[in-house]
A = this chain, B = another copy of it.
């Protein structure tokens, strides 16, 4: 059923695979066909097609139709959603981090007793 997964989840899980990230990187240099994309990866064309479908579902790429080839192009729009989320939270955490920064990171190995940190 996969109850209409939210786009943020789609984007993040699309990005959660090295192959797909590599595809995106490759695509950043210009559009490419499925076979071109498939080449460097030791896997079948069909497998790559599946990855492309995932990326398409996450709206990270879109595809045009020219004759028998279906070149892929990047679609930045939805990456912004993810970037936005991270940025927002990095902000918040940076706040806290600010305060605990030096120590927390340093102490994380050694642990601490100071408990009552909570803002």
Contacts and interface: CB of A to CB of B under 8 A. Distances in A.
Interface residues of A, number: 54
B104 A24 contact: no
Contact of A100 (B64, B77, B88): B77
Instruction: Tell me if A's interface is mostly helix, strand, loop or mixed.
Output: helix
Given A18-B9, A79-B93, A118-B31, A62 B108 contact: yes
Given A18-B6, A83-B86, A30 B118 contact: yes
A96 interface: yes
B80 A119 contact: no
A16 interface: yes
Contacts of A76: 90, 93-94, 97, 100
